[in-house]
Structure 1
């Protein structure tokens, strides 16, 4: 259900995505608990959908809740993410989409902790593996590209970051359309970074 919700979200089918994401989140709260990484991921996905619908206050409330939960025990989160990533590598393979998603999640956590060199290594690895496995124009590949560009920007690698984000924004415009939230976000970054 989560994968289908993600597909709906990528297509801008917000209402359909929202219904599935609420179901997934509630099921995970019951089955895994409110602080489980998968439950929090579901909440973050729902916040993204609310944001895409322009429901910014609701999105912010969920994001704050997720962020506060993550802050309470980042070490536990990172350990869980590493454990999930390693298990997925062993069981599914290093280039399986679920493994790559785990790697991207861990990179995001490292990024949020200002551990940009570690985040960069994972971001680059995920992007290259997604290019190979899914193709250079797949939405997940483009997300990885944007993530790596943001990491480079935080490292002060302005020119490289801008060039990669421009490439990403152009591909998103072509693949997802000019009004897709990911396209708009990348285009906004390009504009901000040029100034």
Structure 2
């Protein structure tokens, strides 16, 4: 804050260096969980950027994205969506449809739509993002896998569990290959697939995958970690559905 005050005094409030310091400070405030204050600061930064740099400058678009992200943290998804739509329209115009920042904005907007329960719109946008990312970065790039994972989650929300399963199987296979078996994102994919299999009443397959998850989590996190306990509870539930009630009870007691 002292640095910002000094720069405002020496350079003036509209100098690019002053605006940059304000933006960095707003990010730090947000990282501290003070999202209300961060949002106020980001709004001030954005207004200055629009005035000094213009509405289509890359830094202005970044400022809009930052504000939208904070609004999302505050649960103000409708406001975040409105800003993200503006950003996306400008980025498509200025940077092109296939630019990485444009794809990121599409992904952010799809996530906001998902958060609001607008799953049909989210699915449409996520399919567009995935097609463009696969074309630009290849089928094994981490962003491609994230796009597939996000789309699979939306498909699950729409009740398209069979299609979600197919996509999650692909993501899991690629993450095992690219990231390794013990990577957190690989474990997350295993958990996601396990939940989809459960939705499809494929309890034997769910049990097998859930045991793999539990073994890896116990190895990596220790026996008392909350995620390990959750996995044990999930496995106990599956065992109950398989009429193996004694095993389920034993695990629940643990």
TM over 0.5: yes
Aligned to 1:171: 216
- Please tell me whether residue 136 in structure 1 is matched to residue 181 in structure 2: yes
- Counterpart check, 1:87 vs 2:132: yes
Q: Distance in 2 between matches of 1:138 and 1:161?
A: 20
| Cα deviation, residue 88, structure 1 | 1.3
Counterpart among 170, 187, 197 of residue 152 in structure 1: 197
TM-score, length-scaled by structure 1: 0.67
CA distance in 1, matches of 2:160, 2:139: 23
Q: Distance in 2 between matches of 1:124 and 1:97?
A: 15
CA displacement 1:38-86 (0-9 Å, x = unmatched): 1674x8xxxxxxxxxxxxxxxxxxxxx964x1x2x32221111111111
Task: Report the alpha carbon displacement of residue 180 of structure 1 after superposing the two structures with TM.
Answer: 4.0
Q: CA deviation at 1:20?
A: 7.2
* Gap regions ≥5 residues in structure 1: 1-15, 44-64
Instruction: Calculate the TM-score normalised by the size of structure 2.
Output: 0.53
The structure with the largest alpha-carbon Rg is 2
Match in the other structure for 2:31: 19
* Matching residue of 1:193: 238
How many residue pairs were aligned? 153
Aligned-partner Cα distance in 1 for 2:68–2:213: 37
Which stretch of the first structure deviates more once superposed, 180-189 or 124-133?
Answer: 180-189
Q: Distance in 2 between matches of 1:136 and 1:29?
A: 33
Hey, what does 1:7 align to over in structure 2? none
- The structure with higher relative contact order (CA 8 Å, sep 6+) is 1
| RMSD over equivalenced CA pairs, Å | 3.0
Classify the secondary structure of the residue corresponding to 1:123.
helix
2:226 & 2:80 partners in 1: Cα distance?
Answer: 28
Change (3 A) 1:181 1:103: farther
In the TM superposition, residue 129 of structure 1 has moved relative to its aligned partner by 0.2
> Which 4+ residue blocks in structure 1 deviate beyond 4 angstroms?
20-23
Structure 2 residue runs without a partner (length 5+):
1-27, 40-62, 70-78, 85-106, 241-254
